[in-house]
Structures are given as structure tokens and as C-alpha cells.
Amino acid sequence: MMIPLWNCCTGCYTYPMSLRDYISKAAANHRAIGHFNVSTLDGIWAIADAAKELNLPVIVGVSEGERDYIGVHQIVAIVESFREQNKQPVFLNADHTYSYKGVTEAIDAGFDSVIFDGAKLSFEENIKITKKCVEYAKKSGSDVLVEGELGFIGTSSKILDSIPDGVVVGDDNMTKPELAAKFVEETKIDLIAPAVGNVHGIIRGGDPALNIRRVREISEATNIPIVLHGASGNSADDIHGTIKAGVAIVHVNTELRMAYRLGLMKAFSDNPDELAPYKYMKSAKLAMQKVVEEKLKIFSV
């Protein structure tokens, strides 16, 4: 979906740039668009206000669980209302969707992008379903982007004591460039999310280093933008390196959830007798907004 801008000469809204355009522009300038997950309206306000303050495009992400909580059609309407009111490039992604039905539901509802997450499937089955999702998107008549995932990085958005079982961080076990190239060629996806040392959640004691060389190899092999999932906990230097190597979108979730929780705890501690949600929720919203602003500055350097 494109962002409407008012044209004073014609007296109507025009649609100059889509999410696809913004991603291409970011990649060309070796920058990345921030993708932040939300579960509540406070989170959407935090993301939109931070992006507006910095005059940057941004992507609001909702996983299957987050969509179930907010409502698929409701989140589309909310994000569209922000675009219309603020005239800012705020986009919506159906994050980590594990079924063809979930993908088609998001496309039909008007999402700007969707990811089919077949990372735990066999390579052949992942290709089969991802390709089917791409074909549906093309038939929809919209410019919705389809992202595929190749390489398992976990599913948790928590503080973890160790790397989860099944997550591959060793150099030989990460997404292989030749398989990524075959995956892209077979499916015709617009974006690819590989395993390059990234992990969902935050590891106590520090996340493993990202493999910037592998990112570059995958970028050169596939020639499409790369999406870095699980970037909470990664260093700014590592993220900068991956962006220079081909990452065009960076996902952050766990750090936002931490900020939200800590913001609420502080609000309850400072005002134990407060009963009005809009008063104590403000602290959580501002805590999230601070995280989004800090991340967007890293991604746009």
C-alpha cells in the first residue's frame, strides 16, 4: 500500500512511494528500515511518533499471536489512520506467518508485506508453500511484498539463558548462499530472511556475533533485499555491518517488550494509587518510543 501525500496543485492525494520503493531507496543508500512489533495501540503510537520525530519510514510488525490479540482488520485500519492523519510512511507487516491461510488472510486484509515462515520445514516443503504464497500475492492485484525465511533462528521473544535448541549459529550451519539463491529463484520472493548468527530473543551475557560475510554472500547470490530478524541484543557495529552487506530491514521486538514492561512497572511504582490506564500507560509508551528512536538512528546512519 502506498503512502498518500496531498498535492496542492491537483487538490487531491497522490501516492508517490510504496514500501517496495522505500526498501529500494534504503538499500541503495546502505541504510535499513526499522521493523518493530506491537501488541497494543501504545506500541503503534510509540513507533509512529519516533519515526515522525526522525522523519523516517517505519514498519509496524504483528506476528500471528499479536494479530489474534489486536485483530487482523483492526490493525490494518489503525495503521491506515496513522498514515492518513500524519501523512507519514508507516507500513504494516504480517510477521512470522506459519500457514498459507494466514498469509492469504493478511494479503486480503490489506497488509503491505507478509512473511511465510517455513524455516522449520524441509527445504522442498518451504519452497512449495512460499511459492504458493507469492502466486497468491501476485494475483491479489496489490503491491504486497512476500518474504521467505530460510534458516531457523528460534521463536522466542524472551531473555534466554542460552541459544535455543535447533538454532544454528556456527558458520557451516547458517543459511548457505547457494541454497538461498535456489530458494529465491524457485519461489520468486521479494525479501529473504536468513540465519546469519541472529537469534530471536536476547541471550544473557550477549548475543552471538552476526556473520557479516555470510550476509554479503547471500546478498550477492540472491540479489534481493535481506531482512535481519532477531536484532534485539545485537551490537550497533554488527547491525551496521549487516546493513552495509545487504540488509534492508531490521526487526526488533524483545527490546520493545522489555521497555514496555519496565515502563509499566515504573509507572505503578511512582503512582501506586493511579487507576486511569491512559495515565500509567503513557510511561510504557514513552519507554518504547525511546527504544524505537535509538534503533532508527542506528539503522539510518
CB atoms within 10 A of CB 213: 12
Name the residue among 50, 53, 15, 20 with its Cα closest to residue 259.
50
Name the residue among 294, 282, 229, 232 with its Cα closest to residue 257.
232
* Marked catalytic residue, from 42, 49, 95, 207: 95
Say whether 165 is catalytic. Answer: no
Helix-then-strand count for the chain, H and E:
11, 12
Distance between CA 152 and CA 175 in Å, rounded? 9
> What does the block give as the cell for 256?
520493545
Dihedrals φ, ψ of 234, to 5°?
A: -80, 150
Is the torsion defined by CA of 222, 253, 57, 88 positive or negative? positive
Report how far apart, in Å, the C-alpha atoms of 93 and of each of 52, 63, 100 are. Answer: 19, 9, 15
Catalytic machinery residues = 95
